[in-house]
């Protein structure tokens, strides 16, 4: 009896509290790495390839620690990107509310996994070998049941708490925080059509998934950090696997170079601009932000609208504004000829990416004409941006 009580108290390892905490943090971190590197970047977006041994380790670890099925997770995530923020999005805060996604993210995942038509449509290319069919997809709860036994054997009764934390880690941080806060709270480097935000510039706790706005802008990039001050720990692990020749990432989307004092729009300029809509519009917004703030101080705003809201609307890519947003912004622009002229130039630049039937010569002529109009404007920031844009390459 005494030996049984001793085992229940200490487990096989007799680990101190610090050791149990270290194990829990390490195990949950490996789970996060498996989700971001294997499920998200490798399987869902094909942003990198993984050595079969690494790929299978992640698959086994996720079966053991989450019970998630690869094809279901991948299909639900691809479905999210295909219908993001619109009807059909499996977990959009704009559709079901932020509170629902934060507190019931796992329920939304289970509900989406029952849509077999969507699973079949979006799960192309996922593992379909013998072990997937006979074990991982068939016996989903047995993996986490095995983990429960292992945790209790290792640490005794406290292993129940360790297991509980492991079970909550992904539903809370991935299904809740990323799918919820990652579409509602934070900062945005790029005005992508979706409401995705970067929660923090340091992607440590959730494997780099904190940089969610960057991901939605460059969904097929294996690297989620963009700015010099952002850190993506998931990318660090990918680089380590590349160094070991166990992974190979897709070439990263390169930021355009700038040929300073280049005075004409040529074919190289056009290709660089067309391939970098998000970066071009973000650079223009950065130039115009102080202009907008200055002008908004002298404009009386109507009831129910504040300067922060107007600034957000001004920073939106004109092509992404819905009817209600256009109406609210139009009321503000009517009070300022200066802002109206600047906004008209932004809209004209945004139209460049919508002219899908135009030839390369026509697009080059349109971009050159836009740069000429911006260079002749009274706004110094527009003139400086036009000079920079001509040098894109």
DSSP 189: S
Question: What beta strand segments (E) does the chain contain?
Answer: 48-50, 202-203, 231-232, 247-249
DSSP 222: S
- Decide which of 245 and 296 is more confident: 245
DSSP 181: G
Q: Cα separations (Å) of 372 from 92, 146, 365, 383? A: 42, 68, 11, 9
Q: Is residue 302's pLDDT more than 70?
A: no
User: Averaged over 237-265, what is the pLDDT?
Assistant: 91
CA 35 – CA 146 distance, rounded (Å): 20
CA 234 – CA 229 distance, rounded (Å): 15
The pLDDT confidence band at residue 306, using thresholds 50, 70 and 90, is: confident
The pLDDT confidence band at residue 208, using thresholds 50, 70 and 90, is: very high
What is the average pLDDT value for the chain, to the nearest integer? 89
- Say which range, 34-38, 48-52, 332-336, has the weakest mean pLDDT: 332-336
**Assigned token pair, 75:** 């299909």
- Decide which of 73 and 302 is more confident: 73
Q: What is residue 174's predicted lDDT score, i.e. its pLDDT?
A: 82
Q: Is residue 317's pLDDT more than 90?
A: no
- Scan for tokens 């906004």, then name that residue: 343
Q: Is residue 359's pLDDT more than 60?
A: yes
CA 377 – CA 380 distance, rounded (Å): 8
Q: Is residue 3's pLDDT more than 60?
A: no
Q: Is residue 303's pLDDT more than 70?
A: no
Q: What is residue 2's predicted lDDT score, i.e. its pLDDT?
A: 52
CA torsion through residues 8, 11, 14, 18, sign: negative
CA 269 – CA 364 distance, rounded (Å): 8
Q: Is residue 7's pLDDT more than 60?
A: no
CA 228 – CA 70 distance, rounded (Å): 33
Please report, rounded to a whole number, the percentage of residues in the chain having pLDDT higher than 70: 97
Q: What is residue 156's predicted lDDT score, i.e. its pLDDT?
A: 86
| pLDDT, tens digit, 9 for 90 and up, residues 105-147 | 888 888 888 889 989 999 999 999 999 999 999 999 999 999 9
Q: Are 286 and 382 in contact (CB under 8 A)?
A: no
User: Averaged over 250-259, what is the pLDDT?
Assistant: 86
The pLDDT confidence band at residue 21, using thresholds 50, 70 and 90, is: very high
What are the boundaries of each domain within the chain?
2-249, 267-390
Q: Is residue 10's pLDDT more than 90?
A: no
């Amino acid at each position: 009896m005494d030996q049984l009580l001793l085992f229940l108290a200490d487990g096989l390892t007799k680990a101190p509290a610090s050791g149990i905490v270290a194990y829990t943090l390490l195990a949950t971190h490996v789970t996060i790495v498996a989700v971001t590197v294997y499920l998200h970047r490798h399987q869902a977006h094909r942003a990198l390839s993984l050595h079969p041994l690494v790929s299978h380790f992640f698959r086994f670890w996720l079966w053991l620690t989450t019970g998630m099925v690869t094809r279901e997770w991948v299909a639900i995530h691809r479905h999210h990107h295909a219908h993001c923020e619109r009807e059909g999005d499996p977990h959009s805060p704009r559709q079901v509310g932020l509170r629902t996604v934060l507190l019931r993210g796992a329920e939304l995942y289970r509900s989406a996994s029952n849509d077999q038509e969507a699973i079949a449509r979006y799960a192309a290319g996922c593992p379909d070998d013998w072990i997937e069919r006979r074990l991982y997809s068939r016996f989903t709860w047995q993996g986490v049941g095995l983990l429960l036994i292992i945790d209790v054997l290792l640490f005794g009764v406290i292993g129940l708490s360790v297991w509980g934390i492991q079970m909550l880690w992904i539903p809370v941080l991935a299904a809740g925080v990323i799918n919820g806060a990652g579409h509602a709270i934070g900062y945005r480097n790029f005005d992508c059509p979706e409401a995705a935000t970067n929660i923090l510039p340091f992607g440590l706790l959730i494997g780099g998934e904190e940089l969610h706005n960057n991901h939605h802008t460059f969904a097929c990039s294996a690297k989620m950090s963009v700015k010099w001050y952002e850190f993506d720990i998931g990318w660090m692990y990918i680089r380590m696997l590349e160094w070991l020749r166990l992974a190979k990432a897709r070439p990263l989307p390169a930021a355009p170079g700038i040929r300073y004092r280049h005075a004409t729009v040529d074919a190289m300029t056009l290709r660089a601009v067309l391939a970098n809509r998000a970066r071009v519009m973000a650079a223009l917004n950065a130039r115009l932000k102080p202009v907008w703030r200055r002008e908004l101080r002298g404009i009386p705003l109507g009831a129910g609208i504040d300067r922060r809201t107007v600034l957000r609307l001004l920073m939106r890519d004109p092509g992404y504004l819905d009817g209600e947003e256009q109406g609210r912004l139009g009321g503000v622009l009517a009070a300022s000829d200066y802002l109206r002229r600047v906004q008209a130039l932004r809209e004209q630049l945004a139209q460049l990416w919508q002219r899908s039937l135009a030839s390369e010569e026509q697009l080059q002529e349109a971009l050159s004409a836009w740069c000429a109009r911006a260079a002749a404007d009274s706004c110094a920031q527009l003139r400086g941006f036009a000079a920079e844009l001509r040098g894109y390459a």
